[in-house]
Structure 1
Amino acid sequence: MRNAIEAGKRQPPVDLRGLKSEAICKDQSGDSVRARVITFLEQVYNSQAETLPDTRDDAADESFGVFVRDFAWKDDAKDVAEDPYADALVAPEQSRAPTPKLRRLHCRSIKINPARREEEERFLPPGTMRDMWEQMNASDKEQNKVSFAQFWRIWKAEYPHLKFRASSSHSLCSNICLRHKLLIREMGHHLKARNAQRELFNFHLQRQYADRCEYWRIRAGSRMRSGEICLIVDSMDQAKFAYPRSDVYRLKERCRDLGPTSQASYAMATLCCSVYLPRTSQKTPLQ
C-alpha cells in the first residue's frame, strides 16, 4: 500500500491471496451461486461485449497534464477506467511481489476451463469488475449476494476470453453511461440511492441491447436483399481532432471546446452485376 501511494497510484494494489485460494468447503448453495454467475456472464458476453481489437490510442498529452490536474471530474473519470482486478485477469504475475520473503511449498491457483479456451474473445466497454459484480447483485434482489472473491474466481476460470476494452480517444457517453457510473461511485454512503441508481443503469443497458438487436435485424435484412437498406448516420468524432489532446476532451460536452471541427455526410453502396451481350459474328468484339 505504501509503494502504491508513493508511486501516485489512484487505486490500491490488487491482493490475490484470497482470490486465488480455493474454497475450503462447499455447501449446497455453491452450485447455484456458480450457475448464477455463469448465467450473468453469459448474458453480458452475448449482449454487451463486442468483438473489437484490443488497441489503445495515445490521446493524452503529457505536456498538457499540468492544466488538467485541477479538474476533479477528470480524476473521477480516470478512476472509473482503472481496475487492478481486471488487469490481474490478463497478467496476474505483474501484481505479485517481485521478492517474496517466504516461498510457498504449495500454490493453488485458478484452473481455467479448457473448453472455454477456444471461445471468441470479446471486449466490454471501459469499466471495472466491481461494477459488474454490483450489477449482478442488483439484478436479482430475491437471492443472497455473491461475494466478490467468488465472482472473480468464476470469471477467471470460465470466462478468460471476456475482457474490458482499453480506453481510447473516442468520446465517452457522458450523458448516461459515465454519469451513471460516477453517481454510483459518489453514492457509496447511501445504500438505497446507490441501488436505485444501479437499477437505472441496468435499464439503460437493456435498452442499449434492444437497440443493438434492432440494428442487427435491419442489417441482416439489408444483406439478404429483402428490399430494406441499412444506413448508418453518425457524426465525425470531434475528439480525434481536438488539440491539445487530453482526457478532459473525451466527454462529448468538452470535445468541441478547442480545435477545429469538421462534419461530413456520405452514403456508400456497392452494386455487383454481370452483363452478357450476344455476339453477332465472330469478328464483332464484345462491348
Structure 2
Amino acid sequence: MFPGSAAAAGPAAAAAAAAAAGEPPGPLHADSATAEEPAYMFLSLALLLLLLLPQVNHLGPYTLTRLLEKKLVASKARVVNVVSVTHRITTIRDAKALFTDWKGGFYQHNKLANVYTAFELQRRLGARGLQAVAADPGAVRTNIYNNSPKLGRGFIKTMIDNCYAPPEDGAQAVIYAATCDWAADQRKRKDGSPLQPAEDLRYYARGVFTWPQLCNDWALGGKGIKKVKGDIWGASTVVLSFLDWPLRRLLGNGLMGRTKLCRPGSHAYDADMSAQVWEASAEFAGVPVQPLV
C-alpha cells in the first residue's frame, strides 16, 4: 500500500469496513436469485473498487514519481505516463472523488488523471529540465481482459486474442515516447515561436489512435446531437481498435506504425483541473503539493 493510502477512504469508511469485517455474515441464500445480498458484501466490494483502482492505476505511479523528483530533475529525466484512449470518454469534476467515490474512480477516470499528471509535471518542472509526456500504447491483448466477465470470454475474447497487438508491440509506443529526440518533436506557436517548457504538453500514440476519427471531442457525448456523436465515436472506436494491429501488420510501420504526437481530449488541457488532481493526489499519497526539489 502506498504512503497515505490507508486513509484514502477516510476514517468513516475505514471504521465502517472494520465494523463490517467483524459482523457475522448472516444467512447465505445461494439458491435464491432474488435474495438480498448482505450489506457487508456490497460494502467490501465498494471499498475494494474505491481503494484499489485509483491506487493501482494512478496513485501508485504518481507517488513513485513524486518520491523520485529530486533524482529525476537532477538527471533531466523523461517521465512517461501510460494512458488510454478511454480518457476521452469522461471528465473529472471533483478531484477528491477519484479517491473517495467509487463512481468517480473508474478506469477511464484514472487514465484521465494520468494524462493530467503528465501535463502538470511538465508545467511544474519542465523549466528545470525534466520532461513528462503521456503515451497511449493502443489496443493490446494483455491479461487485463482475463478477469472481465464481458471481455474475457466468447466472441469478444476471440476478437481481442486475434486482432489486438501483442504486449511487445504495444510497448513500442511507450519506448518511443521515452527515447525520441525531444527537439525533433518540438512544436511551435502559431506565430512560429517555440513553446515554453510549461506549454509543451505532449501526447503520443500511433496507428488508428492518431486518426481524426478518434482524436476529437465527440467521445464525451451529452444530450441530443452530442449523444449521437458520442455513440458514433464509441462504435467507430471499437471497430478501429480491432483493425489497428491487422492494418499495421499489412501496411508496415512506414504507413501505420510510426508513433507521433496527437491531440488528447480537449479537457486534458484544463490547467485548473490538472492542478486539482495533482493536489488531491498529493494529499492522499502523503507528499507535499509543491515539487520536492
TM-score of the aligned structures, taking structure 1 as reference length: 0.26
TM-score of the aligned structures, taking structure 2 as reference length: 0.25
